[in-house]
Amino acid sequence: MVLLCLPFGSHADDSISGTLGAVGSDTMAELMLRWGEALNARHPGIRLQFKAGGSAEAPTALLAGTTRLGPMSRRMTAEEHDAFVARYGYPPLALKVAQDALTVVVHRHAPLDRLTLEQIDALFSTTRRCGADTALTRWEQLPLKHPWPYGKVALHGRNLASGTHGLFRQEGLCEGRFRADISEHPGSSAVVAAVGESPGAMGYTGYNHLTPAVRALAVEDAAGRAIPPTPQTIQSGAYPLTRFLYLYVNLPPDESLPAVENALLELILSPQGQRIAQAAGFVPLTDAMRDTQRLPELLSPE
């Protein structure tokens, strides 16, 4: 199911008003706020209220009917999708709204540039389902450019409610189990801050949260090439841990979007909306990606 991306105007329009509620991804909190501000500038009568509790809260809120909009930094799981279908009799509309990536970060001075997926898994999991023979727990076990005077790698990551946590387990751990000694944080900024303050630390976070205090490692692809996370490698999909950001919408198949939801999605999929995503540190959708989300009848106001 796809959407029509219409031109988003620059003049204020008071003809549409109402309150939009959304529940979901902490990773997308600032982005949703910026989209809400731009929407209000265009339609002064519309207000966006967003509760950022983590991607895991979006399916729960959609299922309960407390929101029609669920931003997520990962796809719904099969269980979440099936529960929605069982409740409503139709699937949720899944819109790709921007691109992002999972990154493994180290202190800016750490002499480490790259890791394989097997090494990432061996560092963060107890199961090593990606193929590593042994666990990696100490800096001297890693492919360092020169000796590093630290012993055990102190690991940092996201908590269970986070979509980043779930997707990293799926993609970085090959659906394995996290080590119990990973320090878990409710937000990606806290992960980056912890790693930036400790030369012996390593963590995983979203691309848009990178700061000069940390350095994101390149990840080797299937051909053994070290691919750094950049806007170009993320947009092309060359970086192995690329991801999309999603907005899930509760839209019955025989209904059109209400005018306020229509205005928000029109903004998000417009060039202006994608520039806002880029300014927030994410990677905008390509024109081709936006073009695949075209369905005029979904954007017909009530």
CATH 3.40.190.10 range(s) for the chain read 17-99+243-299, 101-242
Rounded-to-integer distance, Cα 263 and Cα 300, Å: 10
CATH architecture classification, 17-99+243-299 = 3-Layer(aba) Sandwich (3.40)
132-189 pLDDT, tens digit each: 999 999 999 999 999 999 999 999 999 998 999 999 999 999 999 999 999 999 989 9
Q: How far apart are the first and last CA of the chain?
A: 19
271-285 pLDDT, tens digit each: 999 999 999 999 999
Where are the extended beta strands (E) located within the chain?
17-24, 45-52, 69-72, 93-107, 114-115, 154-158, 183-185, 201-206, 214-216, 218-220, 226-227, 242-249
- Write down the pTM of the prediction: 0.87
Length of the chain: 302
Neighbours of 294 (CB within 10 A): 14
- CATH 3.30.70.80 holds for 101-242: no
What is the pLDDT at residue 128?
A: 97
User: pLDDT band for position 10 (50/70/90)?
Assistant: low
Neighbours of 224 (CB within 10 A): 7
What's the token pair of residue 131?
């193929």
